Chains A and B, each alone.
Chain A
């Protein structure tokens, strides 16, 4: 069979599965056939133990999991940091084009290599209202990534991650438990929220929208009340997490 037929078979199988263990085996076979030796499909939520509606699938050896746990690598993971900055898939050899690695992150990458792991390919997973996730798959130290297989790996990753989300939901019987609900805001309250998120003061916002300083204050206070939060920063964070506000609303592409 050609590579695309393998992907088609993988996708229809992933849609059918209802057990995380079966998906783990499917991934090991599917990615193994493309030439990858290890993989990790995870939501970037701290902790090692299973949690509700959180995807955590990998075939890393226990020895590496122990290293991550003992040295508390999770919170400084450079791949997670890069996923925050990138919507598109990347290979780890080009990591420094996305982020500037801190000394701690260089240490993590060195430990990765010392453990016998090599170059990898990561597909970031950005779903509104959820923690960022990633699908990473790699080869052993000294081996070359199977470049020809990256498009197939991209599709296997996206469809398998979705299957993992579905199975996690089935297992825990809940809907979108990780996503806080967007609150009903008026258009004006929303306009003020966007400008708050862009770092504008009430006075600035009043000038931009051509309304009074007092009215701006009332809109922002009402938006905070509806989100049940006390500060402007909390308001922005909650609205982002609920996907009422998108990063694109806040960050001008020219500023990046």
Chain B
């Protein structure tokens, strides 16, 4: 089950959000050694974790534990590509009402079937996009993972040539939202109906 978590319904997901920030710290700070802020020694929270951020969070239906998540930011507001990595784009950073940015895609450390959870998140991203009129996602991709991202079925386009930043080769990419991609992700999971759950307070993003 994947939930849409916004500023309006965040109070219903307090534990899951705290767990998400702990897992993000374990993965991005402890594991990948990113130099990003850590709050109270255990939560990875940066300047983009604001009320504008929408999270898609996969929860274990029985324990409500955080299994994986992704952060979405509208490109018309402050976001990573716009504020920090604009130089990765060959032209202007794509900014439009129907362009959102994907960051901090992760699965819980040590979780079984991490690949299935990533596929669920991919499916949820397509559902979210089609539901709320997102035409394209942007993201900063590590070249080490690019072939994996492409093999998973994402319809990607480069936005500029990759560059070496702090020892990692990274590049800005756009991901097109389409019913074809959604269908492919759903097929890979054997799903017939939507995965995304909208808690009743959710307003259209």
Contact = CB atoms under 8 A, between A and B. Distances in A.
Interface of A: 2-4, 7-8, 11-12, 87-89, 123, 125-130, 133, 151-152, 154-155, 158-159, 161-162, 165, 182, 185, 187, 190-191, 194, 243-244, 246, 248-249, 253
Interface in B98-117: 110, 112-116
Interface stretch (B43-51, B130-138, B158-166): B158-166
B171 A155 contact: yes
B205 to A, nearest CB: 29
Contacts of B143: 88-89, 123, 154, 158
A3 B147 contact: no
B151 A11 contact: no
Dominant secondary structure at the A interface: helix
Interface of B: 31, 90, 110, 112-116, 143-148, 150-151, 157-158, 160-163, 168-169, 171
Contacts of B145: 87
Given A11-B157, A130-B151, 12 more contacts: A151-B169, A155-B171, A158-B146, A159-B150, A161-B150, A162-B147, A165-B151, A182-B116, A185-B112, A248-B31, A249-B110, A253-B31
Contacts of B163: 151
B122 to A, nearest CB: 13
B70 to A, nearest CB: 18
B98 to A, nearest CB: 21
Given A3-B161, A155-B162, A128 B115 contact: yes
A130 B115 CA distance: 13
User: Interface centre among B110, B144, B161, B168, by most A CB within 10 Å?
Assistant: B161
A159 B156 CA distance: 9
A227 B98 CA distance: 45
A152 B148 CA distance: 18
Given A88-B144, A182-B113, A162 B151 contact: yes
A87 B161 contact: no
Nearest to A130: B151
Nearest to A151: B161
B115 A158 contact: no
B150 A158 contact: yes
Contacts of A128: 115, 148
Contacts of A12: 157
B162 A187 contact: no
The 7 closest A-B pairs by CB, nearest first: A190-B112, A87-B144, A162-B150, A151-B161, A127-B151, A4-B90, A125-B147
Contacts of B171: 151, 155
A151 B162 contact: yes
A89 B146 CA distance: 11
A185, A187, A191, most chain B CB atoms within 10 A: A187
B161 A152 contact: yes
Contacts of A187: 112
29 contacts: A2-B90, A4-B158, A4-B161, A7-B158, A87-B144, A87-B145, A88-B143, A88-B144, A88-B168, A88-B169, A89-B143, A125-B147, A127-B148, A128-B115, A129-B115, A151-B161, A151-B163, A154-B143, A155-B158, A155-B161, A155-B171, A158-B146, A161-B147, A162-B150, A185-B112, A187-B112, A243-B115, A244-B113, A248-B31
B148 to A, nearest CB: 6
Contacts of A158: 143, 146-147, 150
